[in-house]
A and B are shown apart, each in its own frame.
Chain A
Amino acid sequence: MFESKSGIFFIAGIGFFLLAFLGNGVVPMLMYKDRPEKTVEEVVNKRLLSQFTDLAERYPEPFKAAFGEASPEKCAEALRLGRQIYVGEGCWHCHSQFVRPVSNESRRYGPVAKSEEYDNELQRPVLFGTRRVGPDLSREGGRHGNDWHAVHFFKPTTVSNNSPMPEYPWFFDGAPDRPNRRGLALITYVQWLGSWLDEYPYYEELVEVKGD
């Protein structure tokens, strides 16, 4: 058995693989199977919409060209595109999206990550991440204004001294105050991260926006 073709093919090759898959993969699937996966439309919330509206007011012409009017539907579209850009540009290789219960992380970032925060379409595959060259982003929404993000994506060192983050001028039509569709979408995505929490900070307006 230990040196035969069938033993190696069926026990080691298929058997042990399936055993591990059942134990490590299927168990969490079964544990969480009753929790509905939210769609992008369902995760658009009032806090995010206020940021999206702010983008429309701050960059009226680029915003009109990219998304027209600021509506929940357009916000969902921006969120979807923003996530695609976030993944395609490899942002997740340098920024994680979960706060650990150790190493003072809840002091730096905010509440420790909970499983239900990840039950949505935008976590296919989940963007936990494995490396932090830059900080965790799962609580990033609202910490900086939209203008900060625009300038930061255009040339990070302008607002963050000595930042090793690459520049992304292709999210703009030549200047940081003219973000294009991809730029606006990515800013929307980053402002969404953590917007489901009551602790969502309000960088500019200190008026409380009730969550949904």
Chain B
Amino acid sequence: MTSGSQATPAATVPDHPAHEDLVDEKIILCYYVAALTFLTVSMLAGLLVALQLVHWNVLRGIELLSPGRWRMIHTNAIAYGFLANAFLGTLHWVVPRLTFHKVLSKPLSWFIFVTWQVIVGLTALGIILGPTFQDQPWLLELAKQWRLPMNLGAQGLEWGETPFWIDPVALLGLLLVAVNFMVPIGKSKGPMYVTLWYFMAAFVWTFLTYAMGNLLPEYVVAGTSAGAIGGLFIHDLVGLFVTPLGWGLMYYFVPILLKRPIWSHGLSLVGFWGLAFFYPLQGIHHFLYTPIPMFLQYGAVISTIAVELVVATVVINFFGTLGKKGSEFFTNLPIRYFYTGMVFYFITCFQCALQVTLTFQKLIHFTDWVVGHAHLVMFGVFSLWLFGIMTYLFPRLLGRPWYSRTLCEYHYWLSSVSLFVMFLDLTLAGVFQGWYWASLQPWDASTDGSQPFWITRVFAGLGMFAGLLCFLANLWMTWRGAEAAERSSGRVAAATA
């Protein structure tokens, strides 16, 4: 969507391999199709749960469509189906172009692609069918013998629901991902660019985080200690898997699209090392006022407030990079996605520094405030960034401009505005719920009083889904090679880079 085609670093340096030799474009397309498929599934699952809460679920009472099970499909499909797939696809573009080396092996890449889809698909299948077939004598015997939960379906940890019989495969997959991308990074000469710091750390962290969360609380420790590990896991999955990959991509795409370097290298260093040090220390802030030792809770609160200061420097760095090119925000759609995400990121972090305090926790813990926060991070920041990247890359991967710039605009506006409405709505709902509970009214008061907010949420969600449908329709038409319905000088997207 940038105006005019620009030369890419790989193409301008004669000594280095050409883009075609470095990047496997087909696998990127496959990853993106998988990502968008799981995003659609996830949104439909979210819709089902939202309708249940406002009593509009016409599919109630059907075992395989139980909102309790589909709630887990909603979150897992976003994390492992959409975000992971979209990240992996984009990594296949970014890593070879930054390092001038191909990924370790093309067959391995395809093996990882297939394996990952099997992992996500089986996770969904396990969550949906597991509880139906749970009651088997041999399972109960195993559970009794080993004193383990032995759930065929979901396990009892958020985002760690992945059934235990898939965990080893997922770990193997993550290890192969790390190897496949670390090899080109290892081969690269000279100073490493910021993006690669984030990626390298993310490959290590994601594997360690997944292993910790999916093995320890199930097999090693129970009770309060398992709670501390669980807090670390759900926090690190956002902070050490999604966040570093997301920021790494921003450090790559923003300078390329703006055609100017990152504003301050010093701030890049502060941002990376601050995140690396403080982010992992905060897991317990998800379980404040639990029986986890209080001094650990205080530590988590303090390091959370510290990391918010650090991320402020990252956001400042990117706005410094935008500098006087502010008009790009309006004309360049990927840039608009990126910077909208950054504004949401800043709101998220500012909100986080407040809500992590014990004062706020009294009121808003357990409420929809937290749900609003989660949507702002996962959709408002990282999904918008990935939409921006896809908007930029699809014309290059398919070799033709977008079928309709208008549909791209609809995708942006419906996604970002609906998300912001949902965020405000759920945040406010959280405050109401907190007061309903603290004032000791009957429980029904809180669920009845939430109805206006929950109804608003249904429509905000439908808005986000409509945005996705615009994107999918646009992609379908572009892929088929339909002639662009509208063309004007400023709207012609670049040919393949």
Contact B366 A20 (CB under 8 A): no
Contact B212 A25 (CB under 8 A): yes
Q: Shortest CB–CB separation between residue B191 and chain A, in angstroms?
A: 6
Contact B208 A17 (CB under 8 A): yes
What is the 8 Å Cβ interface bit string for chain B, positions 402-439, against chain A (1 contact, 0 not)?
00000000000000000000000000000000100111
Which positions 71-112 of chain A face chain B at CB distance < 8 Å?
A: 76-77, 80-81, 83-85, 87-94, 96, 98, 100-105, 107-108
Which positions 350-384 of chain B face chain A at CB distance < 8 Å?
A: 361-363, 365-367, 370-371
The verdict on A70 contacting chain B, using a C-beta distance below 8 Å, is no
What is the CA–CA distance of A2 and B197 in the complex, to the nearest angstrom? 9
Chain A residues with Cβ under 8 A from B222's Cβ?
37, 118-121, 123-126
Chain A residues with Cβ under 8 A from B53's Cβ?
133, 164
Chain A residues with Cβ under 8 A from B224's Cβ?
28, 32, 115, 118-119, 126
Chain B residues with Cβ under 8 A from A102's Cβ?
289, 361-362
Contact A20 B448 (CB under 8 A): no
Chain A residues with Cβ under 8 A from B281's Cβ?
19-20, 23-24
Contact A130 B151 (CB under 8 A): no
Contact A124 B284 (CB under 8 A): no
Chain A residues with Cβ under 8 A from B229's Cβ?
25, 125
Contact A84 B371 (CB under 8 A): no
Contact B273 A12 (CB under 8 A): yes
The verdict on A132 contacting chain B, using a C-beta distance below 8 Å, is yes
Contact A104 B52 (CB under 8 A): no
Contact A131 B366 (CB under 8 A): yes
Contact A125 B230 (CB under 8 A): yes
The verdict on B125 contacting chain A, using a C-beta distance below 8 Å, is no
**Which residue, B52, B153, B156, B454, has most C-beta atoms of chain A within 10 A?**
B156
Contact A118 B227 (CB under 8 A): yes
What is the CA–CA distance of A156 and B440 in the complex, to the nearest angstrom? 22
Q: Which residue of A lies closest to B191 (CB)?
A: A3
What is the 8 Å Cβ interface bit string for chain B, positions 132-174, against chain A (1 contact, 0 not)?
1011000110011001111111111110100000000000000
Contact A32 B225 (CB under 8 A): yes
Interface residues of B, dominant DSSP: helix
Which positions 36-84 of chain A face chain B at CB distance < 8 Å?
A: 37, 39-40, 76-77, 80-81, 83-84
Q: Chain B contact residues (Cβ within 8 angstroms of A): what range?
A: 35 or more
Given A13-B200, A13-B201, A37-B222, residue A88 in contact with residue B151 (CB < 8 A): yes
The verdict on B247 contacting chain A, using a C-beta distance below 8 Å, is no
Contact B366 A87 (CB under 8 A): no
**Which residue, A85, A113, A130, A163, has most C-beta atoms of chain B within 10 A?**
A130
Selected contact of B72 from candidates A29, A76, A93, CB within 8 Å: A93
The verdict on A182 contacting chain B, using a C-beta distance below 8 Å, is yes
Q: Which residue of B lies closest to A132 (CB)?
A: B366
Contact B68 A96 (CB under 8 A): no
Chain A residues with Cβ under 8 A from B130's Cβ?
88
Given A25-B216, A28-B292, residue A93 in contact with residue B225 (CB < 8 A): no
The verdict on B118 contacting chain A, using a C-beta distance below 8 Å, is no
Contact A91 B68 (CB under 8 A): yes
The verdict on A203 contacting chain B, using a C-beta distance below 8 Å, is no
Selected contact of A12 from candidates B57, B226, B276, CB within 8 Å: B276
Chain B residues with Cβ under 8 A from A40's Cβ?
144, 147
**Which residue, B186, B197, B269, B454, has most C-beta atoms of chain A within 10 A?**
B197
Complex interface: stretch among A144-152, A165-173, A204-212: A165-173
Contact A108 B157 (CB under 8 A): no
The verdict on B280 contacting chain A, using a C-beta distance below 8 Å, is yes
Q: Shortest CB–CB separation between residue B298 and chain A, in angstroms?
A: 12
Chain B residues with Cβ under 8 A from A92's Cβ?
156
The verdict on B66 contacting chain A, using a C-beta distance below 8 Å, is yes
What is the 8 Å Cβ interface bit string for chain B, positions 291-304, against chain A (1 contact, 0 not)?
11100100110000
Contact B204 A96 (CB under 8 A): no
What is the CA–CA distance of A196 and B382 in the complex, to the nearest angstrom? 44
Q: Shortest CB–CB separation between residue A114 and chain B, in angstroms?
A: 6
The verdict on B443 contacting chain A, using a C-beta distance below 8 Å, is yes
Chain A residues with Cβ under 8 A from B234's Cβ?
130
The verdict on A139 contacting chain B, using a C-beta distance below 8 Å, is no
Contact A127 B156 (CB under 8 A): yes
Q: Which residue of A lies closest to B143 (CB)?
A: A80
Given A13-B204, A164-B52, residue A87 in contact with residue B155 (CB < 8 A): yes
Given A31-B293, A87-B155, A119-B223, residue A3 in contact with residue B140 (CB < 8 A): no
Which positions 449-484 of chain B face chain A at CB distance < 8 Å?
A: 454
Q: Shortest CB–CB separation between residue A21 and chain B, in angstroms?
A: 7
Question: Mind listing 29 A-B residue pairs with CB under 8 Å?
Answer: A8-B197, A11-B276, A12-B277, A16-B277, A16-B280, A17-B205, A17-B208, A17-B280, A24-B284, A25-B212, A28-B225, A29-B225, A81-B135, A84-B149, A87-B149, A93-B72, A98-B291, A103-B438, A104-B439, A108-B437, A118-B224, A119-B223, A124-B219, A126-B223, A126-B227, A131-B370, A161-B444, A164-B52, A169-B61
Which residues of A approach B to under 8 Å, CB–CB? 2-5, 8-9, 11-14, 16-17, 19-21, 23-25, 27-29, 31-32, 37, 39-40, 76-77, 80-81, 83-85, 87-94, 96, 98, 100-105, 107-108, 113-115, 117-121, 123-135, 160-164, 166-170, 181-182, 185
